[in-house]
Amino acid sequence: MTKPRIGIIPGDPGGIGPELIAKLLSQPETAEKADILLIGDAHLFALGQEQAGADFEMRTCNPLDGDWTEGDGIAHYPRETIAPDAITHAEVSLANGTSALENLNTALQLAQDGIIDAITFGPFNKAALIEAGLGHEDELHYMAEFLGVEGYISELNTLDGIWTSRVSSHIALSEVPDYVNEERITKAVHLIDNVLKRSGLSRPRLSVAALNPHAGDNGNFGTEEIDVIQPTVDKLRKGQVNVDGPWPSDTVFLKAKAGDVDGIITMYHDQGQIALKLMGFDRGVTVQGGIPFPVTTPAHGTAFDISGTGKADVKAMQAAFSIACNMVSNWQAS
């Protein structure tokens, strides 16, 4: 059986990404799960090993020139995106953002060309990416444009088998009600349904969260549940989607915690992220939903407060890598 081919990029050079990669790759079982292609500056991967106090071997290759998986060990595609002395440690900078974005571009192109199957990336710093010309509210929207994706996209978050998708994401809370419409809810439900099916669940059990407190309390605290969410859920059920709701958002996660639900469709960013990060701050993974191949990353950020100290916890990065491997193995055409 061929192994999944996973491209790994460092993310923001001033954050904990390089250190996490060193910690991940220094564990022998990592390379057993996949053929790994590191994409980025050689000195960034050396920096990570120094920060982590953990070593791994890599061999240089050019993936555009023949089958890069031939050969032993971890492959490295050297890039030059930043000079070693231009890295700003634990600080937002144009140079850091540019490096992160250039390595992302390379990885996206390799995946689009079928040279790698999936991407796992170290944490990005959004402000640095925006300075470097991201031009979108987040990296997901940037990737979608880069790849010409026209369908619905949503960050999916996952922890210990619980998945969430969102009807709205990186927008002000006051704008959220404008996003709560039949089209977006339907697409968010189909997206998580498809990703879970393609990841090996034959009939994912899905629940939709309400927008308002107490799911609107029969219209006393808001009418979106009655006017929009309930009719949309009913329509989806008639379309044979295994979904229910809307459920009050302060109890819907208890269903997932109890193992009764695989995926929860949330109306806004913090509705899902508060619960998931509470349950497993150190293990949560973000999957870029709607992209034509698996792209995963730890749910946490660059952790500038501890970057360079060697204290970064590798569990979420490990989980991100494992989920990418599993998704490639189970990936079925949608």
Partner 1 sequence: MSEPVLHQQPFTNIQTLKPLILTPGDPAGIGPEISLRAWLAGSHNIVLQGDISYFREIADKAKLAINFAEYDAQSFAGNRDTNCHVLHTPWPVPPKLGTPDAANAGQIITAIEQGVAGVKKGQFSALVTNPIAKDSLYQVGFAYPGHTEFLAHLDGHGKRPVMMLANAELRVIPLTVHIPLSEVESSIEDADLSETLLIIGDGLKRYFGLARPHIAVAGLNPHAGEAGYLGRFEVDKLAPFLADFTLEDVQISGPYSADSLFHKEARDTYDAVLCMYHDQALIPVKTVDFFNSVNVTLGLDFIRTSPDHGTAFDRAARLNARPDSLIAAIKLAENMALNAHGN
Q: List residues near partner 1 by CB under 8 A.
A: 126-127, 130, 137, 169-177, 211-214, 216-217, 220-224, 248-251, 253-254, 257, 268-271, 273-275, 277-279, 281-282
Minimum gap (Å) between residue 226 Cβ and partner 1: 12
| Distance of alpha carbon 195 from the chain centroid | 12
Q: Which is nearer to partner 1, 222 or 290 (CB)?
A: 222
Residues in the chain: 334
Minimum gap (Å) between residue 291 Cβ and partner 1: 21
Q: Which is nearer to partner 1, 83 or 171 (CB)?
A: 171
Minimum gap (Å) between residue 259 Cβ and partner 1: 15
β 162-166/154-159 pair status: antiparallel
Residue 128's nearest CA partner among 166, 82, 79, 169 is 82
Residue 292's nearest CA partner among 163, 187, 140, 165 is 140
Q: Which is nearer to partner 1, 55 or 217 (CB)?
A: 217
Per-position DSSP letters for 4-28, written without gaps between them: PEEEEE---TTTTHHHHHHHHHTSH
Q: Which is nearer to partner 1, 126 or 187 (CB)?
A: 126
Q: Which is nearer to partner 1, 201 or 226 (CB)?
A: 226
Minimum gap (Å) between residue 273 Cβ and partner 1: 4
Minimum gap (Å) between residue 177 Cβ and partner 1: 4
Q: Which is nearer to partner 1, 60 or 220 (CB)?
A: 220
| Distance of alpha carbon 53 from the chain centroid | 27
Tell me the C-alpha to C-alpha distance, in Å, between residue 119 and each of 11, 72, 101, 110, 295: 11, 20, 14, 10, 5
Write out the E strands in the chain: 5-9, 35-40, 58-60, 74-78, 118-121, 154-159, 162-166, 206-209, 243-247, 263-266, 285-289, 295-298
Minimum gap (Å) between residue 178 Cβ and partner 1: 9
